[in-house]
Amino acid sequence: MKILLVGNGGREHALLWKLHRDRPSARFFITRGNGGTDAFATPVSLDPADVRGVAQWADTEGMGLVVVGPEVPLAEGLVDALAQRRVPTFGPTQAAAELEASKAFSKDLMQAARVPTAGYRVFQDIAQAEAYIREQGAPIVVKASGLAAGKGAIVCETEEEAIRAARRMLQAHDFGTAGLQVVIEERMRGEELSVFALTDGRDVLVMPASQDHKRIGEGDTGPNTGGMGAYLPVSIATPELMETIQETILLPTLDEMRRRKRPFRGLLYAGVMLTDAGPRVVEFNCRFGDPETQAVLPLLDSSLLDPVIEIARGGSIRGGRLDWDQGAAVTTVLAAEGYPGDYEKGKPIAIPPGIEGDPRTLVFHAGTARDSGRLVTAGGRVLAVTGVGGTIDEAARHSRQGAEQVQFEGRYFRNDIGWRELERVG
């Protein structure tokens, strides 16, 4: 069987690692790849966002399965292009991917489906947006409706800060076309969970909740990033809470998508805020999250490939199940100096062989590349070191120890991934 992974980041490396474990006899390919994926897959010189090129290549080369990692190819219609060529593909169609590609669409859908979320209004006119901000007061959240690489949501503590954010989007166009429409919503308070669910459009296989660390600084301080680490299990994500999330968020969303003739097949990712009023949706994504995937998949004992193939082929996952290791996983992201702002590339990376040979640690590559045989930095988030263990404390220790041993100039990582859970469990 030939399998193509679309994307070349840390999430795709983790997916590749798991799918290869599930079926080592398969031949794996990946678009461009990074400094770590060549251990499992043959790189293909295609831009993941090149819908036509990827679809044509996958068809010509006889791929039995395509797994789409990033959101942009999904929003651009890659699944639709592959479906026209009858190539089985895991991921939602362009119409279904609007659940992530348009926050305005997503909020309206949640309102129609009575899925709990923050109160909001959608604007294209700056004067109307400013008037609404003055009316609502602060703190308040201003979001670019379109895809903004994880940087389109700005939590504003004052009205003036919110107005500046809205002007950046609607007047200065700092977020490009993503900010031509803005969603302004109430600020929710509580802890946030990342909930992944494999879905055939009707039924779901829900994965254990994880928790991401978005802020660059320890103690969750400083600017937002794409994610500096993640961990699971999260003790407050009780079986009862997860059942509530499934019944009040995931299934009603899928029902409404079908009602709108946009059935959602693939991976539905709900960012859920645990408020005093119960779980409420922060946003939906239409693909695996990064870096949560690097923490979640190492604890999946059963096959990921089997349900992925079933969904890609248009089948049903009803009656299926996922089996999980009862331990813990903690992922620490190693970032380049300057991230999430400007940073340099091309810094040599040294990974001691003992780390990758240790069953308690896994190193997933994200912003890495090979330059004349040398491993070098090629992005803001460079690597993720996942530690696994019987407890959060043990997994966090393995993750930190592994991160400390990896060396490159300007390397930065947080030492406190999982701190909330460690405080809870002592």
- Domain 328-425 annotated CATH 3.90.600.10: yes
Residue spans of alpha helices (H) in 288-426: 292-296, 305-312, 353-356, 392-405, 419-425
Residue spans of alpha helices (H) in 225-298: 239-245, 251-259, 292-296
- Decide if 292 contacts 261 (C-beta within 8 A): no
Two structure tokens written together for 295: 């923490």
Two structure tokens written together for 287: 């693909």
Domain spans of the chain? 2-93, 119-186, 191-312, 328-425
Contacts of 34 (CB under 8 A, 6+ apart): 8, 9, 13, 365, 366, 367, 368, 369, 378
DSSP state of 270: E
CB atoms within 10 A of CB 238: 11
- Tokens 């996983």 belong to 329
- Decide if 324 contacts 301 (C-beta within 8 A): yes
CB atoms within 10 A of CB 27: 14
| CATH of the domain spanning 191-312 | 3.30.470.20
Cα–Cα distance for residue pair 338/348, rounded to 1 Å: 16
Contacts of 88 (CB under 8 A, 6+ apart): 64, 65, 66, 309, 312, 313
pLDDT per residue as tens, the chain (426 positions):
999 999 999 999 999 999 999 999 999 999 999 999 999 999 999 999 999 999 999 999 999 999 999 999 999 999 999 999 999 999 999 999 999 999 999 999 999 999 999 999 999 999 999 999 999 999 999 999 999 877 788 999 999 999 999 999 999 999 999 999 999 999 999 999 999 999 999 999 999 999 999 999 999 999 889 999 999 999 999 999 999 999 999 999 999 999 999 999 999 999 999 999 999 999 999 999 999 999 999 999 999 999 999 999 999 999 999 999 999 999 999 999 999 999 999 999 999 988 877 889 999 999 999 999 899 999 999 999 999 999 999 999 999 999 999 999 999 999 999 999 999 987
Q: Is the dihedral of CA 283, 288, 293, 299 positive or negative?
A: positive
* pLDDT on residue 88: 98
Go through 206-217 and write b for each residue having 16 or more CB atoms within 10 A of its CB, e for each that does not.
bbbbbbbbbbbe
Crossing angle of the two packed helices 305-312 and 10-22, in degrees rounded to 10 = 100
Contacts of 412 (CB under 8 A, 6+ apart): 334, 335, 336, 337, 339
Cα–Cα distance for residue pair 130/140, rounded to 1 Å: 12
272: β partners = 193, 281
Long-range Cβ contacts of 244-247 (<8 Å, 24+ apart): 244/278, 244/279, 245/193, 245/195, 245/206, 245/270, 245/272, 245/279, 246/197, 246/204, 246/206
* pLDDT on residue 268: 98
* pTM for the predicted model, two decimal places: 0.95
The second-level CATH assignment, the architecture, of 119-186 is 2-Layer Sandwich (3.30)
* pLDDT on residue 152: 85
- Reduced to 3 states (helix: H, G, I; strand: E, B; else coil), residue 267 is strand
- Reduced to 3 states (helix: H, G, I; strand: E, B; else coil), residue 126 is helix
- For residue 45, give the nearest of 1, 3, 95, 8 by alpha carbon: 8
Cα–Cα distance for residue pair 261/255, rounded to 1 Å: 10
Say if strands 266-275 and 229-232 run parallel, antiparallel, or are unpaired.
Answer: unpaired
What class does CATH assign to 2-93?
alpha beta
Cα–Cα distance for residue pair 109/262, rounded to 1 Å: 11
Cα–Cα distance for residue pair 116/216, rounded to 1 Å: 29
Helical (H) or strand (E) element with 343: none
